[in-house]
């Protein structure tokens, strides 16, 4: 197990937004918990935080404080991590891998439970989570900006924790990189298409109806997408339950006990807009089980990717540009 030590010049990656080791946020205060290179999805497993990356390794961070340790490597972009029943599941570009979790986050018993994930081109960073039914849920992005996906491209699938019983639970999804459950319903983000202008189409928040069709590549939100304006969709679209601003790149979402059941969503930030947007964490407020508004919760944390809640109610945010995990204690 290697200890990560950032090299000189690493912070230059965060030029799009300052990486802050301490940020005031009303009564809350943000601190740097650990440095993790290209930090992406997080999984809170007892007193250990596991962090997936865009590189080749997975890291473990003690929630009580301490340096990040490389606990597994040899992956192709192990973006997704989730834990259940003393095991860690890692979703990389082409497979899902399981480990047994030992003391201090040590991993053993490595085995691939699926090796047949479809190619998703530029949208191949998988997100993974364990649902209330104890099944694994994994996003499989579409391979393009706007095109017709094939097979399991552009879907969210679920499977048993031994890798069996894979089934499609959502399709017509462009690129979901975040989902969580509220009251038994899964809500998932979806990134809107690029190169259609500054203000369309919106990024989406969707509520899962098992087996439902969510519109891609025919619609982004309710807007027909370029090249498919006159095409007939294969099924009736389930429209988003909430629209984010176009190009904010809504990624990780988590419902927080410490926020009364509201969600925080990491907006990774735009790259193709004349005036950049995103680069922040927003609070999505719910009323009657449905989202009604989104307001800025936090800025100045680089390019946020994922949000999670620690056992003590603290808020954890990963930043892949700055290679950082931030903690917000309330």
DSSP-derived secondary structure letter, 76: S
The number of folded domains in the chain is 1
* CATH number reported for the structural domain that contains residue 170 in this entry: 2.120.10.30
Please state, in angstroms and rounded to a whole number, the distance separating the CA atoms of residues 21 and 83.
Answer: 28
Range of the domain at 165: 2-329
Beta partners for 69?
A: 3, 60
Q: Looking at residue 329, what is its pLDDT? A: 85
Whether residue 135 contacts residue 157, with contact meaning beta carbons closer than 8 Å, is answered with no
Q: Looking at residue 6, what is its pLDDT? A: 34
pTM for the whole structure? 0.92
Residues lower than pLDDT 50 in the chain: 1-28
By the 10 Å C-beta count (0-12 exposed, 13-18 middle, 19+ buried), 150 is classed as exposed
Q: Looking at residue 29, what is its pLDDT? A: 62
| Residue 219: φ, ψ to 5° | -135, 145
Please state, in angstroms and rounded to a whole number, the distance separating the CA atoms of residues 251 and 266.
Answer: 5
Token look-up 């989104």 returns 294
Angle among Cα 91, 75, 57 to the nearest 5 degrees reads 95
The two most distant CA atoms of the chain are separated, in Å, by 57
Q: Looking at residue 3, what is its pLDDT? A: 40
Q: Looking at residue 243, what is its pLDDT? A: 98
Whether residue 280 contacts residue 303, with contact meaning beta carbons closer than 8 Å, is answered with no
């Amino acid at each position: 197990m290697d200890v990560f030590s950032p090299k000189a010049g690493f912070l230059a990656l965060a030029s799009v937004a300052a990486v802050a080791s301490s940020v005031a946020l009303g009564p809350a205060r943000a601190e740097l918990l650990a440095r993790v290179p290209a930090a992406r999805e997080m999984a809170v497993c007892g007193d250990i935080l596991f962090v997936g990356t865009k590189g080749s390794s997975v890291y473990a961070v003690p929630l009580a404080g301490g340096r990040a340790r490389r606990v597994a490597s040899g992956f192709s972009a192990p973006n997704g991590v989730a834990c259940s029943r003393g095991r860690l599941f890692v979703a990389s570009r082409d497979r899902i891998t399981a480990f047994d979790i030992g003391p201090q986050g040590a991993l053993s018993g490595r085995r691939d439970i699926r090796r047949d994930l479809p190619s998703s081109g530029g949208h191949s960073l998988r997100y993974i989570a364990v649902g209330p039914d104890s099944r694994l849920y994994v996003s499989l992005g579409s391979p393009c900006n706007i095109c017709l996906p094939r097979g399991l491209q552009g879907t969210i699938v679920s499977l048993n924790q031994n890798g069996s019983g894979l089934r499609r639970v959502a399709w017509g999804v462009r690129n979901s990189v975040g989902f969580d459950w509220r009251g038994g319903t899964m809500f998932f983000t979806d990134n809107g298409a690029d190169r259609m202008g500054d203000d369309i189409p919106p990024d989406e928040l969707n509520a899962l109806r098992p087996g439902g069709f969510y519109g891609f590549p025919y619609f982004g939100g309710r807007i027909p997408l370029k090249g498919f304006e006159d095409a007939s969709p294969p099924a009736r679209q389930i429209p988003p339950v909430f629209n984010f601003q176009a190009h904010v790149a809504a990624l990780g979402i988590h419902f927080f006990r410490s926020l009364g059941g509201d969600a925080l969503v990491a907006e990774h930030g735009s790259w193709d807009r004349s005036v950049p947007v995103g680069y922040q964490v927003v609070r999505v407020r719910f009323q009657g089980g449905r989202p009604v508004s989104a307001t800025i919760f936090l800025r100045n944390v680089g390019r946020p990717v994922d949000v999670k809640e620690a056992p003590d109610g603290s808020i954890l945010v990963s930043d892949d540009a700055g290679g950082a995990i931030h903690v917000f204690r309330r």
